[in-house]
Every structure is written in structure tokens, then in C-alpha cells.
Amino acid sequence: MEQILNLFANAGNITWQMAVMWLIGGVMIYLGIVKEMEPTLLVPMGFGAILVNLPMSGAITQMIEGETVKGPLNILFDAGVGNELFLLLLFIGIGAMIDFTPLLSNPKMMLFGAAAQFGIFFTLSLACLLGFDIKDAASIGIIGAADGPTSIFVAQYFNSKYVGAIIVAAYSYMALVPIIQPPVIKLLTTKEERKIKMPLGRKHVSKAVKILFPILVTIIADIVAPKSVALVGFLMFGNLIRECGVLNSLSETAQNTLANLITLLLGLTVAVKMQADAFLSLQTLMIIGLGLVAFIFDTAGGVIFAKIMNIFTPKNKVNPMIGACGISAFPMSARVINKMGMDEDPTNILLMHAVGANVSGQIASVLAGGLILTLIAK
């Protein structure tokens, strides 16, 4: 009988904090499966949150009889996230998914990608005022770009102790784009502005331009923000695979198998940073709140920039909602803006313009991350 009871002795090590993390993990799994919100990331991350918060879990590093025994998740984290390898491989897959044609056919959309990074720097300043270290504040600010991989890259680069909270916030807001953006946009625009139509004409973009674009962007990124060149370079290499026309099978593999596998491993391994003792704190709630502020101000920055642009180009106005697409949440934001335009006027199709601004946000968010790495000493 005593031996049977000993089998369940570990149950006495369960704490209420662990139970809360099980609940959080369960919510992530629910959102991934039932609501289909970023399932390739939220399902493994939710399961990982449960796995690392089991009493005396063998999945993470433990002290046993005075010796440190490395857990498999910690080993995976050090091998893939600690040295940014998983993130860079993921950027190849993301780059292979992106078609820059809408941006290249209307280059002024690049301006909206730059304008919609305002929230990053605003929130960085706000986080510093609230008492966060400058490196943690920079990591928190990147959440506003709605770019999960860049958020992880910056947080890990600065060795932020809030990596877990930053990841949860970044990917949550990416999934909540259809809920967060519309109220912000409607607050800043009039019905007449939302009805503005933009010409549908799409200029032809040659194959040579599509091939040269990722190469030139990588070179420019190195000149402007040298520390961004790893992120930008891997993103652009993925796009080069897509556009060169002779590596189609590799492009498809990068878009599907590579991206999905890396995202799955990323979700599972980053759960190492979601252990209850570090995750359940006032700072975590503050980070989630600051992430929302960053996201709102990124959206607002793009919309306001478009409205200012219209003052100087009254004969060639852009629909201010396009400015909100300058965030990195591709293609969710473009779809949201196109739907909002058609809700106001069923003939107002903004998708191509929205996609152009949206893919520029992909580049701009990575450059913003690299700029922060360059400006703030490690």
C-alpha cells in the first residue's frame, strides 16, 4: 500500500501557480484548435506551458541529488532559440511566402510600412517610464509590429527575462488583428474617408526587378542597420528562392514543411520561458497591456500618416485605412482593411493596395528590430 501511495507522492508538489499555467496552456490549445488562431504556434506553446509546469517535470532542467540534469526542452531551446537558428530558418519560410509584386507596382506603399512602426518607439519610451530596463522595454515595444519572430529575436538577443510574456502577447495580438484594428481605424477616420476609392491599375513588374529587389533590400539594410542584416537577409533569401523560378520545389518546401515544422518546434521550446515562477507576475500583465498600446499606436500611426499625405496630394488621395496595413501581420491586416472598405461601399476593392502596404510592413518591422539592436548596446 505504501508503495502505491509513493507513486502519487509527486502530486503533493503541485502548486496553485502550476494550476494557473495549466489553465493558460489549456486556453492556448483551445484558441488554436477551436478558434483556429495561429494553431501551428498556440497548440504546441499551450502544451509546452503545461509540460514545463508539471511538478519535477523531466522535460526541463532539474537539480537531482545535487546535480543539474538538462531537460530536452532546455537543450532544444539552447540549440534553436538561444542562438536564433530557429528564427532565422523561419524567416526563410516567411520570405518564400511573400509576393512583393503589389509593393513593387506601387512603391509609395513602403511609406506606410515605415509610418506604422511608430507604436514600437512610443511604447519603448512608455515602458522605460514605467520602470522597465531599456533592453526589456525595446523587446516589449517590438510587440506592436505584430511580428512574432522579430519579437522573439529581439527579446532573445537582449536576453530579456520576459521572453515568455512577450511571445504570448506578440502572437495573441497577431491573431486579434480583426478585433483590434477596426475600432481604432473607425475612431480616426470618417465614413467619407473610408469610402475613398483607389485606382485598381497594376503596373507590370519584371522578373529581373523581383530578383534584384531582395538583393538590394539586404544591401540597404546592412548600410542602415547592420545588426538587422541577419533577419532581413534570411527573409530576402526566402523571397529570392520564390522569385528566381528555378527552385520551385525548395520554395514550396520552405513555405510549408520548413515554416510549419520550425513554428511547431518554436512553440514547444519557448514554453521553457513560461514557468510559473517567472511568468505569473505583475510585469507580465504590464507587458500584455503595453503590447496592446504598441499595436494600437502602430495602427494609428499608419492611418494618421495617410491622412497627412492626403493633405499634400489632394488629387491623388489614398484611403487612410491603407495606412493601418503597415504592420507586419500579413495577410490578416490586408484582409481586414479590404473587408472594411467593402462594408462601406461594395465596389471599393482595396485588397491590392492593402497587400502592398502589408508586405512593406514585413520589411519595416524587421528593419525596426534591427535598428533597435543597433542603437541599444547589448
Distance CA 56, CA 58 (A): 6
Percent of the chain residues past pLDDT 70, beyond the cut: 96
Instruction: List the domain boundaries for the chain.
Output: 72-375
Q: Residue 182 has what pLDDT?
A: 93
Distance CA 124, CA 139 (A): 8
Closest CA to 77 of 92, 65, 87, 63: 87
Q: Residue 256 has what pLDDT?
A: 92
Amino acid present at 175: A
Reduce the DSSP state of residue 68 to 3 states and report it: strand
For residue 333, what is its C-alpha cell? 491586416
pLDDT band at 202 (very low <50, low <70, confident <90, very high): low
Q: What tens digit of pLDDT does each residue of 118-169 get?
A: 989 999 999 999 999 999 999 999 888 777 888 888 988 888 889 888 888 8
For residues 174-201, average pLDDT:
88
Length of the chain: 378
> Does the structure show a pLDDT above 90 at 300?
yes
> Does the structure show a pLDDT above 80 at 346?
yes
Q: Residue 8 has what pLDDT?
A: 64
pLDDT band at 370 (very low <50, low <70, confident <90, very high): confident
Q: What tens digit of pLDDT does each residue of 212-234 get?
A: 999 999 999 889 888 888 889 99
> Does the structure show a pLDDT above 80 at 266?
yes
Distance CA 185, CA 354 (A): 14
Q: Residue 53 has what pLDDT?
A: 94
Q: Transcribe 93-146 into DSSP letters.
A: HHHHH---HHHHTSGGGHHHHHHTTHHHHHHHHHHHHTT--HHHHHHHHGGGGT
Reduce the DSSP state of residue 38 to 3 states and report it: coil
Q: What tens digit of pLDDT does each residue of 42-81 get?
A: 899 899 999 999 988 888 888 776 778 888 999 998 888 8
Report the chain's mean pLDDT, rounded to a whole number. Answer: 88
Q: What tens digit of pLDDT does each residue of 74-100 get?
A: 999 888 888 889 989 999 999 999 989
Percent of the chain residues past pLDDT 90, beyond the cut: 41
Predicted structure pTM score: 0.86
